[in-house]
C-alpha cells in the first residue's frame, strides 16, 4: 500500500465519521480502546483453534469473511488513531523495522549458512 492509499483511506474514514458527527468521540483514548476491542475480536476467532486449524482458517468462506472483517476493523481504527495523533503510519513502521534490524542482527552462523 502506498502513502497515497493510506492517506486516501484516512480521508475516507474521516469523512465517514464527520458525516455522522462522530469526531468528538474519536479521541486518542477512545480510538486506542476501540482498536484493542477489535484486535480482541480477531483473537476470539482463533481462541480455541489448533495451530493447524488456524493455518486453514481462510479456507472456510464464513471464517475467512469474519477474519477479513476484523482485520479491516483493526486497520481502520489504527489509521484513525494515527491520523488523530499525526503519526505517519508508514514512516513509523519503516523506522521501527530499521531499529529492529539494529537491535536484532542476523546471527553470523545464519548469515554464513545462507550464503553457502
Neighbours of 80 (CB within 10 A): 23
**Most confident segment among 53-57, 106-110, 112-116:** 53-57
User: Tens of pLDDT along 4-45?
Assistant: 699 999 999 999 999 999 999 999 999 999 999 999 999 999
> What is residue 1's predicted lDDT score, i.e. its pLDDT?
54
The dihedral over CA atoms of 8, 81, 40, 37, expressed in degrees to the nearest 10, equals -110
pLDDT value at 95 more than 60? yes
Q: Retrieve residue 69's grid coordinates.
A: 472483517
Instruction: Say whether pTM exceeds 0.95.
Output: no
d(CA 7, CA 51): 35
Amino acid at each position: 500500500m502506498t502513502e497515497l492509499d493510506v492517506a486516501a483511506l484516512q480521508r475516507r474514514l474521516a469523512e465517514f465519521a464527520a458525516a455522522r458527527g462522530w469526531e468528538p468521540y474519536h479521541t486518542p483514548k477512545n480510538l486506542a480502546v476501540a482498536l484493542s476491542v477489535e484486535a480482541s475480536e480477531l483473537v476470539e476467532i482463533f481462541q480455541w483453534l489448533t495451530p493447524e486449524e488456524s493455518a486453514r482458517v481462510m479456507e472456510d468462506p464464513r471464517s475467512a469473511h469474519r477474519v477479513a472483517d476484523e482485520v479491516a476493523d483493526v486497520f481502520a481504527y489504527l489509521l484513525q488513531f494515527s491520523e488523530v495523533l499525526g503519526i505517519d503510519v508508514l514512516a513509523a513502521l519503516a523506522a521501527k523495522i530499521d531499529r529492529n534490524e539494529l537491535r536484532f542482527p542476523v546471527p553470523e552462523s545464519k548469515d554464513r549458512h545462507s550464503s553457502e
